[in-house]
Every structure is written in structure tokens, then in C-alpha cells.
Structure 1
Amino acid sequence: MSKLLHSVNQRTQLAGENRLELLLFRLEDKQLYGINVFKVKKIITCPALTEMPGRHPIALGVANTMDGPLPILDLKLAVGHGNSENIRGKSVIVAEYNRKMQGFLVDKVEHIINLEWSDIHPPPKGVGNEHYLTAISKHQDEIIEIIDVEKIIAEIMPFNEQMDEPMSQALDTALKEKSESPEATEESKQASKQVIVVDDSVVARNQIKRCMETAGFTCTLLKNGLEAYQFLENLTMSGKKPTDDFLLMISDIEMPEMDGYTLTRRVKENPDMQGLYIILHTSLSGVFNKAMVEKVGADDFLPKFDANELANAVLERLNA
């Protein structure tokens, strides 16, 4: 296992090149699955677990590790294929999502493959259980299913999507000041209340949508970087600039077809789009994030998901 992940921390050169590496694994159903290597911290053999009272059925228990308590989740059960029959001796993929560490019980870890994000596609209708799939790809004639882990985690440990009252009031005040400014036109007033949200996870899109709508914004929801770029292209072809209609764009990084880094770079390189303010909002972690944000020209970066931090980032844009 150590050899498999030996160079994980050196793989960041793929970021921004519309490429990724997937760690492939199987569950007891023998289906091939993948997880972005950037999210994987290590792979361990399933340790002894302590069951917690009132636990969610997917949560097998908590392992005491050198890094502290680690919840272990039954990924097979989470995707609707029934309980894992025997956890002893099985592998656990330890990964970080949304600022928290989780262990995902899997039947067998295989190997790492290098792919273009353009080779990762949204799941077509009728293929697999779409309620947990966020994307699919192919490797050696096998379909790879990429699970919407954020959806699974949100069901077990729901996030607080409500911003604090002082933050809500600050946003409301900033919006009023923007609309009452002597320089404000009807178009600019409308634009200051509209944001673009780009994320392949339906859970993540709706989290942002609910947070922004609570603060009085209207959201245009898009599913991946390619869809977002085409949307912006159509806008410019109609004679508009994105800043004519939108205050900013909030984009995930990991997305099929085109990742958030590539989307940002292409927007910032396009003279008709480059004024659009972009916040990269992702469950990815690591020291490379800040450098990559600067490299591709994003205006801000936020780890998922904190309603107050997101609201504060939008507030800073309003007050700029």
C-alpha cells in the first residue's frame, strides 16, 4: 500500500492541466470504482472498531488511530448494494472530505490510473444508481463509477447551511448599498444579486444555492466546467460580458469534462470573460491549493463547506 501512494504528494503537477489520477478499488459487488488521489491520505487494513450508540447504518464504527478517532463507513451499503459481509482484513481508504477525515471500507484496492478530465463523464440516464454517482469513466473496457461521496457524508453528518445572523445582516446591508448607489443602473442592481454555481455534485450545488438564496441572491446552476464555459461563451456571443449579468462564479475543482482549474484559466484568458470574479470552492485539501489558485488566476479559494465563510467571500466581492 505504501508503494501505491508513495508519490501522492508529488502528483500536484496534474492540477490545472485538466488531468487527474484515480485510485481504483472494488466493493463486494465487484464493480470498479474510483476516487481522486488528491483526497486520499493513506490506505490501511480495517482496524478494530468501536460501535457508537445511535449510529447511522452506514457508519460501521470508530477506529482509534494515531491521528485520532476515525469514522469508518461501509461504502457498499452507502451505494445501495447491501451490507459488507466481513470487514476483517479488508482495506480502508482514508480520505479527507469537507475538512473531515473518513475511512471508506472497500473490498480490494487495485491501482492508480492517470486520466484526462475530458475522459470523465456525467453518468448517463439509466446507467447505475444515479442517486450516488457523480461521474463515470472507462479503463480497459471496464466502467469506472465515481461516487458522490459528498452526498453520502451529508446524509450521515449533515452540514449547517445557515449563516449566522450578523453575517446575514451584513450581506443584506451590502446588497442595499449596492442597489442604492448613485452609479447603480437597473442592470447592475440585478447583476449584483446573481451568481453562477458550478459543481458536479447535486448536494454541493444545492448547499450553495440554499445558502445564497437565503441571502437574497439568485443562482444559475451548472454541472461541470465545460457546461459553464459554454454557458459563458453563449453569453458573450449575445454581446454581453459575464459581469453584465453576474456578480461572481463559485466553482468546484473536481468536475467531469473540464475541471475548475481549467475553467478558471480559460475564463481569465478570454478578454470577454476575464473580468468575472471566480471563487474556487472545493473539498480538496493540500498545500498546492493556494499556488494553483494563483497560477490559474482565481480570485479566491474556499474549502467546503462553511456557510459563513462562503457568505463572507461574497461580501468581500460586493464591497470591492
Structure 2
Amino acid sequence: MDILTEALASMRTGSPASCRTVGRAPWGLRLPPVAGAGFHVVLHGTCWLVPPGGVAPIPLGPGDVVFVRDGASVVLADQPSTPALDPATSETVHGGSPVGSLVVGGDGPPTSLLCGNYHLDRGRPHPLVQRLPEIIHLPARHGRHPELSSTVTLLGAELDNPRIGSDGIMQALIDSLLLYILRAWLDDQPADAARGWAAALRDTAVAPALDAIHRDPAAPWTVESLAGSSGLSRAAFARRFSTLVGEPPMAYLTRWRMTTAAQLLRESDVPLTKVAARTGYGSEFAFAKAFKREFGLAPGGYRQQTRVA
């Protein structure tokens, strides 16, 4: 199973929003916080990203990509010292395109960026996303992350020369960008990392267990059965799983069952009895009790509330 794709799909609550921003020096833009995760792609030129909390500014060049895990407010500017304006003071033009257009600054050298956000449910983030760094900077380097670089190049080409089909292509590329960003970050983690999801997905004992949980969350898994052919004792496997994933196997199993159930309730009309069966509960009553313990709402109430929202 593709755990990265499933983890993100379980959190997605809508299509990404994006805007092409052209800044001409001197320029500075203070982007407001968003409900999800932010992204910034430098298409042409250079600029600086100033993170919150006094973190050192990050220089950005053509092809660089930045991912802001919790959608925190950041500043983009030609220089870190340039005063930053709120984008509400500038005009954003959509012109019928799903990608807006924003021009700020003076009459100096231009920098072109694609900025936006992915709508992710921050209420119950998947631990793979939750344990990412607050800000991921992926510099453009020759031969490094070719798929991500190709996606950035294609995004720039569609924005520079929109043609028939560009709207659909842009949306698909922006959707793909999120997966390429996180795959690139995971690939960059040291092969000998002692813990974390990059290590978990490579581990010969933990990765098959995660795959089994995602492949069949309804199965009557136990620590012993998940340990399976790992060659580890029950206790050793449980310790290794907890160290790498950040929680014990049975806690992760329950989390994924509830995440799967919530997604089914939000996105389908599957009857509660079938939702219960697909997530490993022998009765609708047992499922409803477990679901309410996790979400504070009965499954039917959750379905109604999320459909209204």
C-alpha cells in the first residue's frame, strides 16, 4: 500500500488554492496563516522567506520549493529587511482561472512564484505529516529530485504560456506537487536515521506491519500477528514500532481504523454497519462507541456535521 498517499488522502478536505505572485523589487508580502499546509515555488528570480518566531531567513532561488507544514504566516520579500505588506492591500486577479494572479512591489527586478495552500484537516493529522519539520526547504539542485524539478518546470510552463487544458493540468500538477515534496523530503533523510517515518518506511520489521494495517484495517491484528515474520519477539517488535512511528502498534491500528471510518463517513453514503465492518468492529454499537470516544461525536452526527461543513 502507498502509505504516503493514503495518509494525505485521509487529511485532504478540499482542492488546493494557489496564486501566481510577481514581486518587483523592492517588495515584501506577509502571507496570512492558512488552515492546512502552505507551499511556495520559485519559478523565476530570487527572494527570501522569513519564517515566524525569529528563525533565520531562508534565501530562495529558481526552482526552490518550500512547504509550510501548519500553514503558519511567513514573509516573502526581495530582502529580509524590506517591509512586508498584507496581500489584502494588493489586488488578486483570477480572470476565470483557478490560479490567481498578484503583482506587488516597485519597478526593480522581478521574481515569480506560485504560492498556495493545501486544505488539510489539522484536527487529527496523520503522524507522518504531524512529525514533519515545520518548514521544509528543498533547494533546486541538478540531478536531485528530478520528478519534483520536472513538476516545477511544467508548472512554470503552463503559467507562462496557458493553452487549452491548462486549468486541469495546473490543478493536477499542484496536487502532485504535494506528494513530490514529501517524497523528496523522505528521500533526503539519512539511511541510518534512528527514528521517524523515513526510518519506519525503510525498516524491515515495521514497514511490513504498516503495510498490513493499511492494506486491511479490518483484520483482527495483534502485536504478535503484526510482528509476523519480522524475526523479532513481540516485545522487541513493539519497542521498535513505537520508537520509529511514535506510538505503539495497537494505538496506530486504532488511529488508522478511526481515520478510515471518518473518511468513509465524510465522503460516502456507506451504511454505518458497513463502515463498522470495514474498520474491524463486529457490531455497529461497538464501532459507534469507539468512534465517539475518539471524535466526541456519534458516527451519524459526525457524518451530518462534516457534510454541512
* The structure with more strand, counted as a fraction of residues: 1
Structure number having the greater helix percentage: 2
Larger CA Rg, structure 1 vs 2 = 2
Q: Would you say same fold, with TM above 0.5? A: no
Q: TM-score of the superposition, structure 2-length normalised?
A: 0.31
